[in-house]
Amino acid sequence: MSLGPLEFVVLAFPGEGLATGVQTALERVTKAGDLRVVDALVVTKHGDGAASAAELADVDELRAVQAAYQLSDLDTVGLIATDDVDEVAALLKPGTTAMAILVEHVWARQLADSVAAAGGELVASAHIPRAHADEAVRTRASQDATA
Amino acid sequence: MFRRRMVMRRGAPLLRGALVGGAAYMMGRGAAQRAQHETDQDEAIAAAQQQQIYVPAPPPQQYVPSDAGAPPRDMSTQLGQLAQLRQQGLLTDAEFETAKARLLAS
């Protein structure tokens, strides 16, 4: 299986908003066209700090969403590993539940394939966190102002 | 009807520290904390994750030309060099005296 670069997104929703939030997120991603949800997992940080993970199909309020997007039928289900669960849980406040979605950048995979077909090479591809991008824009804006 | 199956998740991890040390965008944290994360960022993790950090080019250096064409030379150094040349026999006494006089007059 050739899998393109992936984005690991962790989404937290308050209390009762998990099902609606997950629905919204999956809808947005699948509508994008050049993105594909390849795995999803519910991560909970318990009050005592322990972490646990659950498949969407095993969470009552998410079963319908899970079925709608056929997430259990994906041949990529299972990519998010237990170590990843621990890392996600470390970000969460105790007593919160979040969803981790693994999204494939289909456009980037296709780009790499096209480039390779043209005899070229994708030399590098890196994710620039939004915080870095924001800072670069702010810095440039202040440089423009003083120019 | 969807099929339920046991999902094994014991494979190779994906994140490998990507969410640690501010390499990823952290939701719900204050700007100050985010800035702190950025300064604490683990370079080894960042490198492994192939995070490219943009380093802005330094501001253009002001060119300050030197005020003389020739580099400043210490007169005693030049005298010493003349004396050496005389010792080595490359300058006659007369040539040395002429050169020395010229140097002292400059």
pTM: 0.62
- With 70 as the cut, is the pLDDT of residue A98 above it? yes
pLDDT at B88: 81
Task: Say if the Cβ atoms of A131 and B22 lie within 8 Å.
Answer: yes
Give the one of A12, A78, A126 whose C-beta lies nearest to B51's C-beta: A126
**Could you report how far apart the first and last alpha carbons of chain A are, in Å?**
51
Q: Measured between CA atoms, how close is A69 to chain B, in angstroms?
A: 10
**Would you call B31 an interface residue with chain A, using a CB distance cutoff of 8 Å?**
no
**Could you report how far apart the first and last alpha carbons of chain B are, in Å?**
102
pLDDT at A72: 80
Per-residue pLDDT band for B32 (boundaries 50, 70, 90) equals very low
Task: Say if the Cβ atoms of B54 and A132 lie within 8 Å.
Answer: yes
A88 — phi, psi (to 5°)?
A: -65, -45
pLDDT tens digits, one per residue of B37-69 = 555 555 555 555 555 554 454 555 554 444 444
Q: Distances in Å between the alpha carbon of B42 and those of B15, B33, B56, B104?
A: 14, 15, 20, 62
Per-residue pLDDT band for B94 (boundaries 50, 70, 90) equals confident
**Would you call B2 an interface residue with chain A, using a CB distance cutoff of 8 Å?**
yes
**Would you call A81 an interface residue with chain B, using a CB distance cutoff of 8 Å?**
yes
pLDDT at A115: 94
Q: Distances in Å between the alpha carbon of A42 and those of A10, A38, A99, A106?
A: 9, 14, 4, 23
pLDDT at B58: 53
pLDDT at B73: 66
Partnered with residue A43 across adjacent β-strands are A53, A98
**Would you call B6 an interface residue with chain A, using a CB distance cutoff of 8 Å?**
no
A89, B15 in Cβ contact below 8 A?
A: no
Q: What is the mean pLDDT of residues B86-95?
A: 84
pLDDT tens digits, one per residue of A48-65 = 999 999 999 899 999 998
DSSP code, position B61: P
Chain A hits for B15, CB-CB cut-off 8 Å, are 8, 83-84, 87-88
| Mutation target vs A (from B6, B7, B34, B55; most A CBs, 10 A cutoff) | B7
Q: CA–CA separation, B87 vs B101, rounded Å?
A: 18
- With 80 as the cut, is the pLDDT of residue A28 above it? yes
**Would you call A79 an interface residue with chain B, using a CB distance cutoff of 8 Å?**
yes
DSSP string, A84-138: HHHHHHTTSPTTEEEEEEEEEEHHHHHHHHHHHHTT----------HHHHHHHHH
Q: What is the mean pLDDT of residues A98-109?
A: 93
Question: Where does residue A15 fall: left (phi above 0), alpha (psi -120 to 50 degrees), or beta otherwise?
Answer: left
DSSP string, B11-36: S--S-TTTTSTTSSPPTT--HHHHHH
Least confident of A23-32, B62-71, B96-105: B62-71
- With 70 as the cut, is the pLDDT of residue B21 above it? no
- With 50 as the cut, is the pLDDT of residue B3 above it? no
Least confident of A25-29, A87-91, B56-60, B87-91: B56-60
Least confident of A39-43, A92-96, A101-105, B83-87: B83-87
Of residues B101 and A1, more confidence is placed in B101
Q: Measured between CA atoms, how close is A111 to chain B, in angstroms?
A: 19
Q: How many CB pairs under 8 A join A and B?
A: 89
Contacts for B78 with CB less than 8 Å, ≥ 6 apart: B103
**Would you call B8 an interface residue with chain A, using a CB distance cutoff of 8 Å?**
yes
